[in-house]
Structure 1
Amino acid sequence: MENRLKELRKAKKLSQKEFAKAFNEFIEENKKYAVLDNKGKIKKISYATVSRWEVGQTPIPTKYYEALANFFNVPLAYIQGAGYSKKEIENIILDEINLRLADYFIKHDQGKVENNILSLALYTFINNTKNDEYLNEYLDLCSKSVKENHEIPVLNAKLEKLLREIYDFIFKQDSILSWNKENFENREELDTFLVGLISKEMNKTLSTVGKWFTNGYYAEYINSKEYLHVPFKELEDSLHFQMIEDLKYSKDLTEVITSLRAYQDFIKFIISEVQSTMNKLDAESKKEDKNQQ
């Protein structure tokens, strides 16, 4: 079984000489991984040693394997060659992105409300954080299969390049390298992982009020002694979902109206809170300007 030292070294954009230097420094700082010579001094590796390790000419000592796993922050089994390669993992992720993003547009055109959670996340990201050029380019590349034939487009070189560019942050994650084949075969688990990455990336682009809304808490009165503190976004999602479900399936008019009013009350509350927050921010800004003058 071939080790993945060369693959990981290149991912860090290090030459063999640069890697040898960085790895020797890492060993100096983490002496528990050190291999000692006859005089009890730490053995240093050369770029020639790195070359022999990468081609399998010389086996990597067990202690160094542990150090390499920590240096690259990957599982020991992965660097030893077990599981999928990084390229294979990227291909699996690209296939899933291609499938789910196209699925959103197909179902949207067919008037279907239901969608896979990753489909929605992928669309929301490209629609909210990227310019229209990216969205138009994606639709141009796969418009015939998606818009006309309602089929998942073939992942050709152009489409793959575009998806890599749009969702580049996903391919910078090393944590997924610890997954085994069973994890990847569970598409629900993969989808949840990717949704988490997208949500985290989108949070970086939030406005001040957006961060407040996402991280804020809504105190809902329960009784005279306690309040239920629910994150705004979580409550909004819950109320919105319940309203849609009641509208779609409930035959009880009172239940439908109650659900609509609950959502309406929440929206009124949010409008009030946003106005209050914006006024505070505006007042603080004017105060800062006045102090600077």
Structure 2
Amino acid sequence: MASTTPQVITCKGAVAWGAGEALVIEEVEVSPPQPLEIRIKVVSTSLCRSDLSAWESHAIFPRIFGHEASGVVESVGQGVTEFKEGDHVLTVFIGECMSCRPCKSGKSNICQVLGLERKGLMHSDQKTRFTVKGKPVYHYCGVSSFSEYTVVHSGCAVKVGPHVPLEKICLLSCGVAAGLGAAWNVADVTKGSTVVIFGLGTVGLSVAQGAKLRGASRIIGVDNNPQKCENAKSFGITEVVDPNLYKEPIVQVIKRITDGGADFCFECVGDTDMITTALQSCCDEEH
């Protein structure tokens, strides 16, 4: 009689062996899920700037990157009650244990148990679930979706409906959720307001969609890439500003075209100087 206990799976994975080195498609052994973990067959994954930044840095190697993914649960570890084999899921690189102080607060999602890991190991036992020819390969953000199969903590996945197109929704794992959530949940953009978005990548465009849904009347996108500026209009951006086309500082441009500053400004680049610029571009009135 065949064993129903999950076994090691050998599959293809894109392994980064060193900083800035080309990823290599390897035969990766993926261990069974341990208690409170699930093993996922990855259907679709996307590339985030965070993956690139970590790949370029002198971080932990060898490593399997990727943290925006959709897939199907292949097996579950002991104690997992919210998932079963065959469930469709999205990965979440900042999980929720629902027990620590931040999770209980309702004001933060930086879980103390399943938050941003930096050691390349699983949260539960500080070990890796990947090996290549017997050599440990480390995780990234507790997800590592650049592999046909991966193992994540059950608190780092969200179940989605069986009819949701898995090949399209992987962006919801990070970029879209971050941007739309910032506009909808954190800033609580108000109807008729003026919004300025610095950076028109995935996060910035998702902020635009969130602001549009909340009824913002002006959504101004700021980016020095003309192609991004043009594409942004289909995501809710009502007008664009290319800093390269102005001689004056961008803060002065925003203050002038918004009659004293925007109601809401979003920095979607990840640059400390740009954060200052965004703050200075807000109107003086408190919202």
Structure 1 length normalisation: TM-score?
Answer: 0.31
Based on CA coordinates, which of the two structures has the bigger radius of gyration? Answer: 1
More contact order relative to length (CA 8 Å, sep ≥ 6) = 2
Q: Which has the higher strand share?
A: 2
Q: Which has the higher helix share?
A: 1
Structure 2 length normalisation: TM-score?
Answer: 0.31
